[in-house]
Structure 1
């Protein structure tokens, strides 16, 4: 059986695993599906809903079997009625990004964003961060003008004046910090833990347990390798950017990887509480089509496997 793994640079762990060959030691027949090369989904107005690319392709015939993303996509999938289950989560990534404006903009806090253009990579963790920040200040989603921007282009749009605020992430945020004076409106810390996470179809978990256990094992080993070899891991991202006609800074990628948690942990009650609160907010603000219970997406035996593999691997 061919196991299909969806990957892209935003999930650092799977991106490195794609290139270092560790998974192939356990599963000889692996097909890597570059999410950037999938057919683009219909555009979604960020005031009206959430894009469903990740969960759609998880359930498409010929799509992928396993995926790692940020905080929001599994909520989106569950809200669309997809029968998916969590595999595991990373540690908190609260240093990875934040909501910023230009110092010269006159925007000093979240309350000042009413009616303003806020750039987000819509459907990612950035949507959740913006919504949680608004809710904390008594605002709703329709109090701002959300603008869907590519994760790599939002900083330039902010500097040009096309955006009033932007949820930025490293290493791209470092480039903007070097080019402009920024004001932090909201740090990720204090809002939510912002982990990476991994999920699969329930059918895959139940019918292909050995393959899922092999993926978990390889990911734990690969993450330990990243921790021990951050500069070599950073080279994969730089080489990828250059192959695609762009550029990337090796030092900034290395710094970004050094600042991120690696290793897959078990799904915790605290994480599920964060997911549930976010799902409730997304629904209340018209971005999720139905209410969900995120604990329906937990299979206890997966957590036992994750913990066993984590205990056997030093990260």
Structure 2
């Protein structure tokens, strides 16, 4: 059978695996689906909704059977009735990014963001980070003006002053930092764990256990290589962006060295964070309803990822 695996640079593990040939040796029928080539979905208003791209393509023709993303997409999919299940999570990625302002900004705390323009890659972990930060400051989503930015236009919008604050992530944040200092408004650490995570359809997990096991084992093998040689792994990302200059390789290597690799079992702590995020997103009008993510856990997958069976 053909197994379709989605990939894009933002999930570093799957992006490297796509280039290593490891999964092809385990699953000769694998087909890779570059998310950047899929038809675009209509944009959503970041004030009132979340994009459903990643979970939609699990269930639509021409999509994929397996995907890895950041924190927010599976919650979004579950709230829209998608019958997906978690496969595994990474360790905390608290060094991956944070909410920043310019050094001279009058914004001194998250509470000062009321009425301000804040740039985020909407629908990603950045939406959750900002919402958690607002909750801590006693604000709601309607108190700010969220601006949907990509990794390409976010830095330029921040530099130009079009944004009052920005959730920056490496390596884009490193490029901004090289041009001048930024001031951290709130760190990811202490706010939420911000792991990478992987998920699939429930029917695929139940009916193709062997294939899913091979995907997990291939990711573990590839992630071990990234940890051992982040400089070479950085080349895949730099080449994809069209440059292999030493400075670009340095930025990607720095980003990869700051991220945890390897798939771990889904924990109760992670599920509690997901549940809290779902409740906040629903309460702020970004999701049609809240959901309990514990319904999306299959015990056998957690068993697969425990140390005594991982290989």
> Does TM, scored on the shorter chain, surpass 0.5?
yes
Shift in Å, 1:62: 2.5
Match of 1:158 in 2: 158
Alignment pair present for 1:178 and 2:166 = no
Match of 1:296 in 2: 295
Match of 1:102 in 2: 102
| Closer, same or farther: CA 248–204 of 1 in aligned 2, 3 Å | farther
Shift in Å, 1:246: 11
Match of 2:44 in 1: 44
Tell me if structure 1 keeps the 8 A contact 2:281–2:290: no
In 1, Cα distance between the equivalents of 2:258 and 2:308?
A: 23
In 1, Cα distance between the equivalents of 2:255 and 2:193?
A: 17
Matches within 5 A, 1:221-232: 221-232=221-232
Match of 1:12 in 2: 12
- Structure 2: gaps spanning 5 or more residues: none
Shift in Å, 1:81: 0.3
The normalised TM-score by structure 1 is: 0.96
Match of 2:233 in 1: 233
Match of 1:27 in 2: 27
| Closer, same or farther: CA 305–184 of 1 in aligned 2, 3 Å | same
Of the structure 1 ranges 175-184 and 191-200, higher mean CA displacement relative to structure 2 is found in 175-184
Match of 2:249 in 1: 250
Match of 1:169 in 2: 169
Q: Does the residue aligned with 1:104 lie in a helix, a strand or coil?
A: coil
| Closer, same or farther: CA 309–227 of 1 in aligned 2, 3 Å | farther
Q: Deviations over 1:87-116 (max 9, x none)?
A: 000000000000001111211110110000
- Structure 1: gaps spanning 5 or more residues: none
Aligned length: 311
| Closer, same or farther: CA 72–247 of 1 in aligned 2, 3 Å | farther
In 1, Cα distance between the equivalents of 2:167 and 2:89?
A: 22
Match of 1:114 in 2: 114
In 1, Cα distance between the equivalents of 2:124 and 2:247?
A: 22
Shift in Å, 1:152: 2.8
- RMSD between aligned alpha carbons? 1.6
Q: Deviations over 1:240-295 (max 9, x none)?
A: 1118x999700111111111100000000000000000110000000010121110
Match of 1:192 in 2: 192
In 2, Cα distance between the equivalents of 1:92 and 1:122?
A: 20
Match of 1:206 in 2: 206
In 2, Cα distance between the equivalents of 1:126 and 1:310?
A: 33
Shift in Å, 1:181: 2.5
In 2, Cα distance between the equivalents of 1:233 and 1:220?
A: 15
Moved over 2 A (4+): 245-248, 308-312
Matches within 5 A, 1:80-99: 80-99=80-99
In 2, Cα distance between the equivalents of 1:2 and 1:203?
A: 15
| Closer, same or farther: CA 285–32 of 1 in aligned 2, 3 Å | same
Q: Does the residue aligned with 1:185 lie in a helix, a strand or coil?
A: strand
Of the structure 1 ranges 57-66 and 81-90, higher mean CA displacement relative to structure 2 is found in 57-66
Tell me if structure 2 keeps the 8 A contact 1:73–1:123: yes
| Closer, same or farther: CA 168–130 of 1 in aligned 2, 3 Å | same
Tell me if structure 2 keeps the 8 A contact 1:242–1:248: no
| Closer, same or farther: CA 39–260 of 1 in aligned 2, 3 Å | same
Tell me if structure 1 keeps the 8 A contact 2:226–2:233: yes
The normalised TM-score by structure 2 is: 0.97
| Closer, same or farther: CA 17–152 of 1 in aligned 2, 3 Å | same
